[in-house]
Amino acid sequence: MDLGTSGLEELVKSLRQPSFRAKQILEWLFGRFANSYDEMTNLPSALKSALAEQVRPFALTVIDCLKDPEDGTIKWLSELEDGNTIETVLIRVPGRTTVCISTQVGCPVRCVFCASGRGGLVRNLTAGEIIDQVILACREVGDRVDNIVVMGMGEPLLNLDALAAALDGISGEDTLGFGARHITISTSGIVPGIRRLAEMGRSWNLALSLHAVNDEMRAQIIPPATRFPLEEIFSACEYHRTLTGRMLTLEYALIKDKNDSRETLEALSAIAHRLRAKVNLIPCNPNASRLTAPTMRRCYEAVDFLTDLGVQATLRHSHGQGILAACGQLRQKAEALSGRAEN
């Protein structure tokens, strides 16, 4: 719902209803993950009809749902009120559930290997549309998910107001009570956004999509319009760590013959040490471009190489390979099928 707690209280008041009705609705939305007024059985039907005229209880209509039989990953394609579509992914590993949420329809950054950026930005998501992706995943799990990663479609720091409103909205005890340390925001390196995020003083984790060790190499992956110089990005990340105390993660898509040489990985190690960051290597998914990952053996060798250089490095397993789980891929497929793909 796009109202927030205080907006909902106002609405209930304007409908001349006692304030406990707002609490009941919050309990349905955030305690039982309801997505329709019909489910809210302890509300009078007149109130439900009045509410339905004013605000949708749930912003998403799921139009496609793919489950990976191998690892249980679920990917939803949801339609918004204006007909645009977004993706949300639920990743389960034993003992932990993580939802990967989108913040924009499309993305203005347009990294060469990314399906989300293909058609550029369509629009920002609202706070309600962001929150409801978390609710969608909680409903599936039957409980609050453990972690949120803001790594779906879009550049979160170019929609920071709505994202912050959404994350604050689910942190309250009357909503999901979600702890900031279980939330990670991934950015392509939007310097003013990183600095603003630092100054907000929340303990959200930050991940930087680095992918290259110098500006020339990075220019081959990220177009100039929204790309910042690495030195400026690094000092913004240092500022973020100083103000929040959170450790940075460097995301690094391993691309065959582009950024996977020993010299490049040595330079990556130097950056990780300087920023006191851990490194998450991601084999480049060849969905949107001709760029491909090195062999898995070489990917594991890269992890070992960085580890030997004293860097905390991991290889991100590609969850949901069988269901096009990399960001933007399902939407791209749906658009292609409906003849709307922009190539």
Active-site residue set: 87, 327
Q: Which of 78, 116, 244, 249 binds ligand SF4 (CB under 6 A)?
A: 116
Q: Which of 22, 77, 109, 157 binds ligand SF4 (CB under 6 A)?
A: 109
Query: Per-residue contact track with ligand SF4, 135 to 174, x per CB under 6 A?
Result: ------------------xxx-------------------
Residues that bind ligand SAH in the complex, under the rule CB under 6 A? 107, 111, 113-114, 151, 155, 186-188, 209, 251, 253, 282, 284-285, 287-288, 326-327
Q: Which of 117, 283, 294, 320 binds ligand SF4 (CB under 6 A)?
A: 117
Nearer to ligand SAH, 29 or 151 (CB): 151
Nearer to ligand SAH, 175 or 285 (CB): 285
List the alpha helices (DSSP H) in 4-126.
Answer: 4-14, 20-26, 45-54
As a whole number of angstroms, the distance between CA 31 and CA 135 comes to 10
Say if residues 324 and 330 touch (Cβ distance below 8 Å). yes
Direct distance between the N- and C-terminal alpha carbons of the chain, in angstroms, rounded to an integer: 34
Say if residues 116 and 106 touch (Cβ distance below 8 Å). yes
Count of residues touching ligand SF4 (by CB under 6 A):
13
* Dihedral (CA of 1, 163, 95, 327) sign: positive
Nearest residue to 86 via CA among 107, 68, 55, 112: 107
By the rule CB under 6 A, 285 interacts with ligand SF4: no
- Picked from ligand SAH, ligand SF4, none, the partner binding residue 284 (CB below 5 to 8 A depending on kind) is ligand SAH
- Picked from ligand SAH, ligand SF4, none, the partner binding residue 253 (CB below 5 to 8 A depending on kind) is ligand SAH
* Number of neighbouring beta carbons within 10 Å of residue 267: 16
**Least gap, CB of 222 to ligand SF4 (angstroms):** 7
- ∠ CA 144-157-322, nearest 5°, is 55
H-helix or E-strand spanning residue 209: strand 205-209
Say if residues 92 and 146 touch (Cβ distance below 8 Å). no
As a whole number of angstroms, the distance between CA 96 and CA 80 comes to 28
Q: Which of 17, 73, 188, 285 binds ligand SF4 (CB under 6 A)?
A: 188
Q: Which of 25, 77, 90, 107 binds ligand SF4 (CB under 6 A)?
A: 107
Nearest position to ligand SF4, beta carbon: 117
- Picked from ligand SF4, ligand SAH, none, the partner binding residue 326 (CB below 5 to 8 A depending on kind) is ligand SAH
* Number of neighbouring beta carbons within 10 Å of residue 19: 9
Question: Restricting to residues 203-262, which ones interact with ligand SF4 according to CB under 6 A?
Answer: 209
Instruction: Please compute, for residue 41, the number of CA atoms within 13 A of its CA located in the half-sphere on the CB side.
Output: 1
Interface ranges with ligand SF4 (CB under 6 A)? 107, 109-111, 114, 116-117, 153-155, 188, 209, 327
